Amino acid sequence: MSSADEPWWRRAVVYQVYPRSFADSDGDGIGDIPGITSRLDHLAALGVDAVWLSPVYVSPHVDNGYDIADYQAIDPVFGTLEDLDALIAAMHERGMRLVMDLVVNHTSDEHPWFVASRDPANPKRSWYFWRPGRPDPDGGPGATLPPNNWSSVFLGSAWEQDAGGSYYLHSFAAKQPDLNWGEPAVREAIYSMMRWWLDRGVDGFRMDVINLISKPEGLPDAPGGPTAGNQLEMVVGDPGLHTYLAEMRREVFDRYPDRTFLTVGEMLAVTPEQAVLVTDPERRELDMVFQFEHVDVDHGQLGKYDPQPLDLRDLKASLARWQVALAERGWNSLYFNNHDQPRAISRWGDTSQYWRESATLLAGVLHMHRGTPFVYQGEEIGMTNYPFARIEEYRDIEAARAYEVATALGLPSELILGTMAKMSRDNARTPMQWDGEAHAGFTTGQPWLPVHLNHLWLNVADQVEDADSVLSFYKRLIALRKSEDVLTTGTFTLLEPDHKQLWAFLRADERDRLLVLANFSDDELGIPDGDAFTGLDGGRLLLGNYPDGGAPGPLRPWEFRAVYL
């Protein structure tokens, strides 16, 4: 593909805004759309091409807006439709695009579609998965068990019983019933809603858990016990997904032949093989997927709340596997952070002695891979996990559910609170740190989640003028995606895969060979001998994360260097 007919998103960097926590314009302690508009200069200066905006639709907010009660209206807590139109216009004026979140595996139980479906005689009954229970041999007369053994991603049965006795399926919280994509009227309603947004000027969609939309016929039991999210085994990989995505492409995006959108599908448990099918341009499904393999490498036997020390070899191998798998056909997204992950710098870096170095190293390594990088708000200044100590400090439904289940199992609360502090999604959701003033400049009111004390020194205002700041490094990195062809088109080769501290790889095209080196440790690290590293000493440094550039010689703690050989 020549760069002329290459879609814009191949050279783009996308920034994710989590609206509750970005900027509050009206002092209610919750971020809003006018707040985002007021901060667009920050994003323009950063150089990002597009913003992915987490949900701002009408919602009861049991899952912070991932439970939608009206797809075509803005929740008053975030503003109005006029505010959103103004945001789109202000972004387009600055040459930025807006990608909305599309949450259509499920709605809120307060969505009028679901409310109507509670009546067995209503035509909307078939829009959701309503099923009778199974007889419960141990229960009293008429007692039933859920229709199958699926468990929700947020723990507990994936079925909720209604007053009438029937059950409905919810892959997430009970207030997030799954839509039945097998019902053509559901698909038509969704496609028409999507076109309505594109007509308003939206430039694409990030599609929430989109690989769960096609359920296997008959909803059979998952093998093994009812462990959290066991239904994924049954649902992920269902071939119907491809039919739906191709249909969506025809019914929505193809109707706008003069525009190029960005579509990225969040896909739990997706394999590289499935991702190739979804992102192969010829198959006309999606542009890229968010996979989870690399953010799960440090999960233990019991999943995310059983974090293990990172083995760097696993993380490198995971990214490399996806680079190779999608080299010929398809395209990768690149991310370490989002609103569902603890802060990568706290998880894999060193926030005490080498905070600046590890923040920039992680950024450098990620952005030198092939794909479209996503920056999550606060990442560009090196924001860290919050020191959560008490259960009352959390707001996330997932944290509340995990705590409830763990205490019911009799686990000591210190234990579960300790792992939650490391892994909770609320770590990503504390307010954006704009300055060192009250509430970090996020709000004039009481913030909905506590502001990190480190905003006193870790904030945008202090980094803007500092050429050596994390923020300045991100600006350089984002600019390189435009100027260095090899980053977009070059091949990828992982070097020294068995090294436990060094992350090294080569990007190459007909013209250039770019060597990327990163020392994931607090110690100095010699550069291995070997053919791949010859030419390093005479090479031209493209970017380094130490203020003096990359002096030849061993890598200093958490040093990152990208060198043209």
Catalytic residues: 208, 266
- Specify the 3-state DSSP secondary structure of 282: helix
Q: How many helices (H) and strands (E) does the chain have?
A: 16, 22
Amino acid at 70: D
Cβ proximity to ligand TEU: between 182 and 303 the closer is 303
Question: Could you give the CA distance from residue 249 to residue 362 in angstroms, rounded to a whole number?
Answer: 35
Q: Any contact of residue 23 with ligand TEU (CB under 6 A)?
A: no
Q: Which of residues 266 and 496 has its CB atom nearest to ligand TEU in the complex?
A: 266
Q: How far is the CB of 139 from ligand TEU (least distance, A)?
A: 31
User: Does 208 help bind ligand TEU (rule: CB under 6 A)?
Assistant: yes
Separation CA 208–CA 66 (nearest Å): 8
* Least separation in angstroms between CB 54 and ligand TEU: 8
**DSSP codes joined into one string, 400-467:** HHHHHHHHHTT--HHHHHHHHHHH-GGGGTSPP---SSGGGGS-SS--SSPPPGGGGTSSHHHHHT-T
Hey, what's the torsion of the CAs at 341, 345, 347, 349, to 10 degrees? 160
What sign results for the dihedral spanned by CA atoms 556, 557, 560, 565? positive
Does the CA dihedral 138-143-146-148 come out positive or negative?
Answer: positive
User: Minimum distance from CB of 341 to ligand TEU (Å)?
Assistant: 7
Please state the φ and ψ torsions of residue 377, each to the nearest 5 degrees. -45, 130
Q: Min. distance of Cβ 427 from ligand TEU in angstroms?
A: 11
Binding mask 249-268 for ligand TEU (x = CB under 6 A): -----------------x-x
Is residue 542 within the footprint of ligand TEU (CB under 6 A)? Answer: no
Binding mask 163-192 for ligand TEU (x = CB under 6 A): ---------x--------------------
Least Å from the CB of residue 426 to ligand TEU: 11
Instruction: Tell which one of 32, 109, 285, 340 touches ligand TEU (CB under 6 A).
Output: 340
Residues from 348 through 407 that contact ligand TEU (CB under 6 A): 398
Query: Phi first, then psi: what are they for 73, rounded to 5°?
Result: -145, 150
Site for ligand TEU contains 298 (CB under 6 A):
no
Binding to ligand TEU by residue 513, rule CB under 6 A? no
* Binding residue for ligand TEU, selected from 170, 425, 455, 561, defined by CB under 6 A: 425
Q: Pick one of 32, 49, 63, 203: the residue that binds ligand TEU (CB under 6 A).
A: 63
Q: Does 212 engage in binding with ligand TEU (CB under 6 A)?
A: no
By the rule CB under 6 A, 209 interacts with ligand TEU: yes
> In angstroms, what is the minimal distance from the CB of 241 to ligand TEU?
16
For 513, the 3-state DSSP assignment is: strand
Q: How far apart are CA 202 and CA 51, in angstroms?
A: 11
- Which residues of the shown chain bind ligand TEU in the complex (CB under 6 A)? 63, 66, 103, 153, 172, 208-209, 266, 268, 304, 339-340, 398, 425
